[in-house]
Amino acid sequence: MRHRVAGRRLGRDSEHRLAMRRNMVASLIEHETISTTIEKAKDVKPFAEKLITLAKKGTLSARRRAIALLGDRNIIGHEDGKATKQGTIIRKLFSELGPRYLDRPGGYTRIIRLPLRRLGDNGQLVLLQLVGADEGSKKETKPTTKRAARKRAKKTAKAEEIAQDKETAEAEEPTEVKEPAETENQADEANQ
């Protein structure tokens, strides 16, 4: 009996599962989308989200923990038929993905089911991908209660009252108008 035994075995021993999880998350970070089976995607998703949460912290200890959990393999690109190093997985995780999801409280990955099945064992295929940067966080605004609406109205009314008081105070300030001094000729003409 498997009472209270958590996790999926996936037909592998523990070292193989750990290596598979690390490789899949590294590929997910590198390419931002991977195709796999539904069982593997469900197993890898929490691990990837924990690493992105570490990347959001951005501290040295978080970086060291991510290296310990994931390893730090190189990202290799091909230019002019030659393989070139374009950085590392940890550098991309902490410099691009961490800042991308700073405002998002969780849910950095999604699983999209494909209508395809794998040849051989007919396994259900899915796309495991990082949520795009253009989507950002979708914070739902709470419906305002009467109390919150009254409070907000009070604040705006008070701000408007203060602004009006400032305007009236500026308008009521006595301004001294300097009249031109009378010249002696004008004074003499007025006396005559």
Give pLDDT, residue 141: 46
CATH architecture observed for domain 14-130: Alpha-Beta Complex (3.90)
* 5-42 residue pLDDT tens: 988 999 999 999 999 999 999 999 999 999 999 999 99
Helices (H) and strands (E) in the chain, counts: 7, 5
Euclidean distance between CA atoms 174 and 158, whole angstroms: 26
Q: Where do the structural domains in the chain lie, given as residue ranges?
A: 14-130
Mean pLDDT for the stretch of residues 123-152: 72
pLDDT at residue 17, rounded to an integer: 95
Q: Above 80 in pLDDT, residue 176?
A: no
Residue 92's pLDDT is 95
Give pLDDT, residue 166. Answer: 66
* Residue 163: pLDDT over 80: no
> Residue 160: its pLDDT value, please?
74
What mean pLDDT do residues 60-80 have? 93
For residue 94, the one-letter residue type is F
pLDDT, residue 101, reads: 95
Pick from 13-22, 97-106, 134-143: least confident: 134-143
Contacts by 75-78, CB closer than 8 A, 24 or more apart: 75/30
Q: Which residue has the tokens 């907000």?
A: 152
Q: Is the pLDDT of residue 109 over 70?
A: yes
**Cβ-based neighbours of 115, under 8 Å, separated by 6 or more:** none
Yes or no: say if 80 and 57 are a contact pair by the CB < 8 Å rule: no
